[in-house]
Amino acid sequence: MLLLRRIVQERRSHCGFSSISPLHVVFMLCCLIFVNSCIKHSFVLQALGLILWIVCWADLFYSFWERSQNIFRAPFFLISPTVLGITMLLATFLIQHERMKGVQSSGVMMIFWLISLLCATVIFRSKIMLALNTDTEVDAFRYVTFCTYFILLLVQLILSCFPEKPPLFSEAVNDPKPCPEFSASFLSRITFWWITGLMIQGYRRPLEAKDLWSLNKEDTSEEVVPGLSRNWAKEWAKNKRQPLNILYSSKKQQKSSDSNGEVTEEAEALIIKPSQRNSEASLSKVLYKTFGPYFLMSFLFKAAHDLLMFAGPEILKLLINFVNNKNAPDWQGYFYTGLLFVCACLQTLILHQYFHICFVTGMRLKTAIVGVIYRKALVITNSARKTSTVGEIVNLMSVDAQRFMDLATYINMIWSAPLQVILALYLLWQNLGPSVLAGVAVMILLVPVNAVMAVKTKTYQVAQMKSKDNRIKLMNEILNGIKVLKLYAWELAFREKVLEIRQKELKVLKKSAYLAAVGTFTWVCAPFLVALSTFAVYVKIDKNNVLDAQKAFVSLALFNILRFPLNILPMVISSIVEASVSLKRLRVFLSHEELDPDSIIRGPITNAEGSIVVKNATFSWSKTDPPSLNSINFTVPEGSLIAVVGQVGCGKSSLLSALLGEMDKKEGYVVVKGSVAYVPQQAWIQNATLEDNIIFGREMNESRYKRVIEACALLPDLEILPMGDRTEIGEKGVNLSGGQKQRVSLARAVYCNADTYLFDDPLSAVDAHVGKHIFEKVIGPKGILKNKTRVLVTHAVNYLPQMDTILVMTDGEISEMGSYQELLKQDGAFAEFLRTYANAEQSRESNANSPSGKEGKPVENGVLVNEAPGKLMHRQLSNSSTYSRETGKSQHQSSTAELQKPLAEKNSWKLTEADSAKTGRVRSPAPWRGQLSGFFVSFLCSAFFFSMKYNTQSRSSFPGIAVFGYSMAVSIGGIFASQHLHLDLLHNVLRSPMSFFERTPSGNLVNRFSKEIDTIDSAIPPIIKMFMGSTFNVIGACIIILLATPIAAVIIPPLGLVYLLVQRFYVATSRQLKRLESVSRSPVYSHFNETLLGVSVIRAFEEQKRFIKQNDVKVDENQKAYYPSIVANRWLAIRLEFVGNCIVLFAALFAVIARNKLSPGLVGLSVSYSLQITAYLNWLVRMTSDLETNIVAVERVKEYAEMEKEAEWSIEESAPASTWPEEGKIQFQGFGLRYREDLDLVLKNINITINGGEKGWVENADGKRYDPILFSGSLRMNLDPFDQHSDEDIWRSLELAHLKNFVSSLPDKLNHECSEGGENLSVGQRQLVCLARALLRKSKILVLDEATAAVDLETDNLIQSTIKSQFEECTVLTIAHRLNTIMDYTRVLVLDRGEVVECDSPDNLLQAKGLFYSMAKDSGLA
């Protein structure tokens, strides 16, 4: 106000008061308001709104005053200010309402002020012209008020272009990197200017993950997934009364489902009864209900765009009439030119808002689908898991979710394409009359052709997805069992298996390519045939019908519009077909049976008879399978210790699974009191720190944590781990020994402080002295769980006397039950077993309890060490890693911080290598270079005819044939390139050393074999086709414009230069965003694979919510890179289409300027093709960005070609004879070994000769316990994958492994189908199958690495006696925890710190009283 006062005073002093008009005052007020707008933006807008209301009603009151003075005006002077005043008042209230909602920039208000100003501009011009006319009288009051009104509207419009500051009452945002979208102005949002900062940053340097903004709240999994989950749950519950009748295929059906023994998920997952078809839950309805509102918004934008599209031909008609009429004033031409430019710009802005909504909706759709798939995977039954393998579910998350994402962009074309066709035909009817019906007839004739192609496309899509599922399933099994493949040298054989499936997949791809080429030919010819038939009929039906410039080029412009929906229809149909296949696959998966949470009563039950009560319970693994557990009856009192014993495959592990609710309860009553902790037989370890694996999402309690670490014998391991308990553990615990994994699994259960503990043979993987320590400190009557309810499955009979109750399992039933003494008194089968095997154990127990038993005991083998800082963690054998009660006490008193290594070492190494993003330009890989160069000539030729067809509407069908040829060339070339890339990827991965698999998360590899290969197969070839077509369309249109209006040569080259500069500026950022998106996708797959492997543990600990949250976070991290990429694409498209709109502007402008020199035909030709430039550029931009970003998939597939490789699989020059080894002699001379080049030696200076036929035992052998790996397929395939042995030999090996009776009892015998990972067999049975596989090879050297750790003592003794008798002439190397089984071996090799310290016969070593003697003493053998 001081400034205003000073200005007024200056005006008074210089000019007098009369020279200060009201306009001056209003202008100065507006200036002050504008200056202070940054401080109180919204208040200024409201104040101006009130002033506008006052100004409008000032006119109203002035009209009333005039009436009082008997001056009567038209009603307009009363109605207009009244309506305007009310409008301005409502606008003011709307400003306040949006301010209360926290809106920082209102698009509604900006559009309102713009329209108001445009309307006022017309009146303002009239008033100025009226004022300049000296003959007319001016109404001074209304003149001043209107000028004030006009200036205030202008100020409101200017202010609405700037965003407000967030209101003081808005919620505090703690996000360090919020997305600037919602704080940007409306203009910035509709032009996507708000991402320019990131684009500049990406142009200056490669973007990194830390540069990305956080995801908008409404796009996060937390907001998106619950909606779809909730709607699907309602739909599924509605149809649950008549459930989807999914019949899981029987084993016989699986066997005969494929001639090669392959079982496809689609076939085995579904056999739906026709009568139930109407009761199926509709996933499409659920998706519509969840995402319908978003598609409604896109519908409105698309409708507006389509209507504006037809404004171009109508304005062209007016422009041609203007050129024809030489007497028309010039301003008409300039007006039409400006109108054409404005319409084109509006069309661009609206179209890309539509695309933005579609892409964001597609992103949300993918997020929701991945979320519901993950949630469903946590609750499906074990029988459903057999049909929906990891490979299929990964494809659902990657390929099928992507199909839905792609469909979101095209879904509106279902109605938009017919609408465009109808509007174009209507306008053509107006222009050409009934002759348009000829074109309609041509289009109708093409409909059946399209229908047939759609049906065939769907068939091929289903077949392709089946092959893809099988391939990913097999690859997943190969990656999980890679150690087995390398030990057996099966890489080449399994590579052929993968390539066999891949060939089927490529065969279907080729058929799809042929069909797509036919479809392209049909639809490329369609607009030409429609135009030809229409024009021909028009000329022939009436001699007076002449194709003048107006009719020809307006019709041509309409035909050009008609061409787009007809050309896009094949892609839309293909996308819909692919999505329908994916929809069915996803519906099938989501309709799988879920575990019944009410089958087992869990929770704090006070009136229960005991902690565990089971009455007349019968369980099976699925509803269609026969019962695995029959008539189970037992009660476990609170705080008691129960043992479950029995032979391999008798149902011990199944009993624990039943108590966890993992099996289908047929009948009976089961209660498990309180919380449950579960230790599986095969330890499940996460890719996390050791501390995180133990705490497992719970709060840190330091004192309890230290007690657990000490009790589980992990303190010595922590001392030698590089970072103590902060050491990173690899996937599946690859850098831990079997015993260490089991003790970490045990520590996790103990730390959670549950009410009931279920232990599935955790002591089988540890040495005898470590097992004794764990039993005493943790499980036994004096352990830290002594007051808890414990159920222990075990084969160790020496612990049975300390049990409260022993359950004896036989063939799925409890045959005997009672205390140790009671069972002996019963004198049953179990008592006989105890008398046979317990004597030695009892003597060991008594010796172990003697004072000498307190000496230091060596801890279990295969611990990890990192002797040199800065080196990667590795396994090393150390006998100095000891545990004793004395040291245990001192270590127990140490703090948790002491369990962790100095933080300086933290950054010196990392076990697993995260997927990394490359930088710079994408190097064109050799296969694609070959394809592009090989077909470049065909591209040029076909593109020439392609553009000739589009630009001249030749009457020949040759352009369509040329398009067919180049479409075939690109498709087949793409398939060849994809074939080579997949072959190279598979070859490179299989030739990688084991260290590569230990440090590379499986999700990285699965990502390459699923999503990246699918991109190369299905996405890149059609993108190349459309890219080339769009490029030559643009070039052809520019040539036509230059020929018609040569003066356009002044402007088109500079605009082309601008186009190229903007494109290059964009690509640097877009390419890196695609890399970051690809890199962040791998952790999603890794986490998902990890979850599926440990789903029973997650459910037992009731940690589903935490894992769902982790999955959501990883998916959001992936979308953080995807969202900026789609916005950047829109940023580019708007700017490049603006270049196209400038071409429209200048083509029309030059036509107006040279109207006297140009014929109407040339004007029509030039402008009609300039109108298509924008559409061509839009598609070219999209294809360019898609090609640049999708080619990153090729880069990532080729990435592993540069990794370190093993030697060639076979070297002819040094190949041994086929009979090698002839005598089984093993000789080491000065042998040293390291896991990687950057690590220390783990074996040093080994000098030993093992003669043929010797039986040796290795103590402190490195590496884990050998996990029994089986592959999905028949039992025969797992024993003899390559049909090298007869059935007689196979049965003989099964007999030697003591599996013959079990396999003979199976319905399909050797053709019994093993599920993925052999999950339908017990761990003991899996070990015996692996043993039979080794025995079948009849090698001169037999290596047994914990081959019988999970079997009972009786079976173990039988197997040992078999080995001694049947392999008398073979060299046998055994690694085992049970020392009694090797006391009659020829020699025992004892290692310490990677060096041989003892090597002699067991008797001599016992007499020497060295390390072996101390271990034998701990085991009660000395």
Mean pLDDT per 10-residue segment, the chain (1422 residues):
46 44 52 48 72 80 79 79 83 76 74 84 81 72 83 83 65 69 83 89 86 88 90 82 48 39 40 49 85 86 88 83 82 88 90 91 91 90 78 80 81 84 85 84 78 79 83 84 82 86 89 81 76 83 78 77 72 78 87 85 70 88 83 88 85 88 88 89 86 89 90 84 80 77 90 90 78 87 89 85 88 87 82 63 42 32 31 31 35 42 43 58 49 40 40 46 74 83 87 81 79 83 81 81 79 80 82 84 85 88 90 91 89 84 84 79 77 73 74 80 76 76 81 74 83 66 56 82 83 85 84 78 80 79 72 71 75 74 78 80 82 73 66
pLDDT in tens, 791-826: 998 887 878 888 889 888 888 888 888 888 888 888
pLDDT of residue 889: 36
Residue partners of 557: CB distance under 8 A and separation at least 6: 312, 313, 316, 1168, 1171
Amino acid (one-letter) located at 1384: D
The closest of 1262, 341, 225 to 739, measured between CA atoms, is 1262
Query: Mind listing the pLDDT tens digit for each residue in 1224-1247?
Result: 788 888 888 876 676 677 788 888
Backbone angles phi, psi at 894, to 5 degrees: -75, 160
In the block, tokens 């695995």 appear at 628
Torsion sign over Cα 398, 399, 400, 405: positive
Distance CA 131, CA 139 (A): 9
Q: List pLDDT tens digits, range 276-323.
A: 444 677 888 888 888 888 888 888 898 998 888 888 888 888 888 888
What pLDDT score was predicted for residue 204?
Answer: 87
Strand bridging mode 1371-1375 / 1341-1345: parallel
SS3 of residue 1178 by DSSP: helix
Strand partners, 965: none
pLDDT on residue 866: 33
1335: Cα separation from own chain's centroid: 42
Q: Are 458 and 492 in contact (CB under 8 A)?
A: no
With b for 16 or more beta-carbon neighbours within 10 A and e for fewer, the 936-957 pattern comes to eebbeebbebbbbbbbebeeee
- Three-state DSSP class for 755? coil
Query: Residue 630: phi, psi to the nearest 5?
Result: -120, 135
CA dist 1004 and 1412 (Å) reads: 44
The pLDDT of residue 1022: 82
Residue 793: DSSP 8-state: E
- Helix/strand/coil (H, E, C) string of 1098-1120? HHHCCCHHHHHHHHHHHHHHHHH
Phi/psi for 1255 (5° steps) reads: -110, 115
The pTM of this model reads 0.73
H or E segment at 1342? strand 1341-1345
Number of other residues whose CB lies within 10 A of the CB of residue 875: 21
Report cis status (omega within 30 of 0) of the bond before 1221.
yes
305: left (phi over 0), alpha (psi -120 to 50) or beta: alpha
Cis status, amide bond into 313, omega within 30 of 0: no
Per-residue DSSP letters for 468-487?
A: HHHHHHHHHHHHHTHHHHHH
Three-state DSSP state, 863: coil
Question: Are 946 and 964 in contact, with CB atoms under 8 Å apart?
Answer: no
The neighbouring-strand residues paired with 1255 are: 1372
What pLDDT shows up at residue 1410? Answer: 81
For helices 413-432 and 436-480, the axis angle rounded to 10 degrees is 160
The C-alpha atoms of residue 877 and residue 875 are separated, in whole angstroms, by 7
C-alpha 1030/C-alpha 517 separation (Å) is 17
Q: Where are the alpha helices (DSSP H) in 768-815?
A: 768-774
Tokens read off for 550: 């107006």
Q: How many CB atoms lie within 10 A of CB 1102?
A: 13
